[in-house]
Structure 1
Amino acid sequence: MSEGTPAGTITRLDPQVNNENRVSVFIDDEFAFGVHEDLVVRHGLTVGTALTAEDVREIEADEQYVEAKQAALDYLAHKPRTETEVRRKLKRNDAPAFVIDDVVARLYELEYLDDEAYAHDYAHNRFSSKKYGPVRIRRELKERGIDRHLADAAVDTLFEDEDATAAAWEHAESRWPRLADEDDPRRRRQKMYRYLRRRGFTSETIRPILDELEREGGRSPV
């Protein structure tokens, strides 16, 4: 539809060839707009129905909602998403702000969106698969639009059960031998430090590990 969609009387309703869920609406024998079949029923669209300009605007708003909701569901079908990611997706699709708000509210009602559960699952999966530290996991959650308090809670909960220091040692023992060609001990330490920081560990965790690596030749204390 467009702002120039005319008011008038519906003279034809034809199923669309390329999309069986949509119907072409003809007003005064001229194609006016396409609409989802559910909206044909909802708005009581039949041949002979007279539509005012306000009627057309309401149908257009509902059509935008249906399209945005379907786009969101398709987006969520591949993997869980955050509210912010869904909003970004719909904005890229040029959905109006009021439509995005309505779609997001409905997705929460349907329990397709749950940022708190997403944060906990994401934190667990990133640690399990990559052994990333708390700093990186927290940052990644925030980049995905998770509220700071939810991100902090998810990371804190994760590391109540998981040992960040042990994970850092796994990375360190794998990486340290690869830096053996570095003749300058200070540069070797710096490279190891930056490597562990990129994986999300704090300076407080990293420094004792570096000290031990230098003393013991790379083996973690057991």
Structure 2
Amino acid sequence: MATITKISAQKRPGRYNIFLDGEYAFAVDEGVLVQFALAKGQELTPDQIARIQEQDNFRHAYNIAVNYLAHQLRTRHEIWAKLEEKEVPPAYIKQVAAELTEQGYLDDHAYRDSFVRTQMVTTENGPTIIERKLREKGISPELANREAITDIFTPAEQLATMAKLIAKQRNHYRRNSAREQERKIRQHLYTKGFAGDLITQAMDAADFTPDPEEEADALAAQGAKYWRRYASKGAAVQKRKTKQMLYQKGFDLGAIDTWIAEQETEDA
């Protein structure tokens, strides 16, 4: 048996050096010190020393995990990856995960719910994007699925989010034809992770009827760009290419012909 002859605090808070029979033996966490009631004059068997050091290894891993959790909620996968990064042996990682789960600090179900609500408030992402992000964080398919997400991010709330997105995108594409605006915005909603049936509902609720004045302004702005671009190609090519490009951009064919006729008159 060995006798504790000295216990001294390290510069690092919460760590203590243990001296046995006058020589430094090992260091322990404050929690381990209290758990085993270590004190000067106490005698320790080799088996006791082994248990103390094993518990200290666990406390070291546990403290890494708790510090990592202090900043925000984490998934079981993220905790496991963090401890592996710190070269914690798998046996201790499993023990830490079990302890944190029992204490309620590690709950992938609660994490999923919190993550979805945060995405709803801080982003414009739809369920498909949210599901992908959850999978990337290690949430299982059983928890990270469309049905579970839409129980939280309801269709009505998705439609409200899309209404805001549509308004923002319409302003962004205000120099485009109403038809082109509708096409680009519909595609944008798909890329944000919303489902096709809800996108159709959201688009139907928005009024994409062309405003004559806005459509004329957009046609003039787009037309002037192409008219200049093809000016060096000769009058026939300039007219044909400009008409082709404006038609592809969703403008009315009659309005295009009228605008081109005006340009030809001005150039004459």
What is the letter of the counterpart of residue 94 of structure 1? E
Decide which of 84, 92, 109 is 1:116's aligned counterpart: 109
Q: Equivalences for 1:1-222 in 2 at 5 Å?
A: 9-43=2-36, 45-46=38-39, 47=41, 49-52=43-46, 54-152=47-145, 153-160=147-154, 162-181=156-175, 191-206=184-199, 215-217=208-210
Is the CA contact (8 Å cut-off) linking 1:123 and 1:154 kept in structure 2?
no
Q: Which of structures 1 and 2 has the bigger CA Rg?
A: 2
Is the CA contact (8 Å cut-off) linking 1:15 and 1:24 kept in structure 2?
yes
Is the CA contact (8 Å cut-off) linking 2:8 and 2:18 kept in structure 1?
no
Superposition deviation, residue 202 in structure 1: 2.5
What is the letter of the counterpart of residue 16 of structure 2? V
Superposition deviation, residue 60 in structure 1: 2.5
Q: Which runs of no fewer than 5 residues in structure 1 stay unpaired? A: 1-7
Residues 167, 40 of structure 1: alpha-carbon distance in 2 compared, 3 angstrom cutoff: closer
Residues 48, 173 of structure 1: alpha-carbon distance in 2 compared, 3 angstrom cutoff: closer
Superposition deviation, residue 144 in structure 1: 1.9
What is the letter of the counterpart of residue 34 of structure 1? A
What is the letter of the counterpart of residue 157 of structure 1? D
Q: Which runs of no fewer than 5 residues in structure 2 stay unpaired? A: 212-268
Superposition deviation, residue 104 in structure 1: 1.3
**TM-score of the aligned structures, taking structure 2 as reference length:** 0.64
Cα deviation code 1:128-152 (max 9, x no counterpart): 3324211112222222222222222
Residues 129, 122 of structure 1: alpha-carbon distance in 2 compared, 3 angstrom cutoff: same
Residues 145, 63 of structure 1: alpha-carbon distance in 2 compared, 3 angstrom cutoff: same
Residues 58, 191 of structure 1: alpha-carbon distance in 2 compared, 3 angstrom cutoff: farther
What is the letter of the counterpart of residue 175 of structure 1? Q
Is the CA contact (8 Å cut-off) linking 2:15 and 2:29 kept in structure 1?
yes
Structure 1 Cα separation of the partners of residues 210 and 55 of structure 2? 67
Corresponding residue SS for 2:185: helix
What is the letter of the counterpart of residue 171 of structure 1? L
Q: Percent identity?
A: 25
What is the letter of the counterpart of residue 49 of structure 1? E
Structure 2 Cα separation of the partners of residues 143 and 136 of structure 1? 11
**TM-score of the aligned structures, taking structure 1 as reference length:** 0.75
Equivalent pairs, count:
209
Superposition deviation, residue 59 in structure 1: 2.5
Residues 27, 139 of structure 1: alpha-carbon distance in 2 compared, 3 angstrom cutoff: same
What is the letter of the counterpart of residue 139 of structure 2? I
